[in-house]
Structure 1
Amino acid sequence: MIEDGSVECGNILRYHLFCVLLTLFRCFAAISLMNVK
């Protein structure tokens, strides 16, 4: 089954953006915890 490549690329970009935001959130959380100690 062949699907439109543009749709697949859009999903990959959206997933990549979500991963980047999640990573940034985890980094900020770690920095905040370090500052509290």
Structure 2
Amino acid sequence: MLAAVGLVVGTLLVDFPVAVAVTLSLVLICSWSATIAPPRR
């Protein structure tokens, strides 16, 4: 478990710009989807 966490942290540190870009893209997609199709209650 710790090894997997370390591997993920190391990958994020190496590919930090890519991780930031992916995170921003996911946030934009989620917000856009929520705007286009609001969740039903």
Fold shared by both chains (TM-score > 0.5): yes
Inter-partner Cα distance in structure 2 for 1:14 and 1:33: 28
Q: Which runs of 4+ in 1 moved over 3 A?
A: none
Scaled by the length of structure 1, what TM-score is found?
0.61
Inter-partner Cα distance in structure 1 for 2:37 and 2:20: 26
Identity of aligned residues (%): 12
Structure 1 or 2, whichever has the larger Rg, is: 1
Shift of 1:33: 1.2
Q: Which runs of 5+ in 2 are unaligned?
A: 1-12
Q: Paired residue for 1:28?
A: 32
Scaled by the length of structure 2, what TM-score is found?
0.56
> Cα RMSD (Å) of the superposition?
1.7
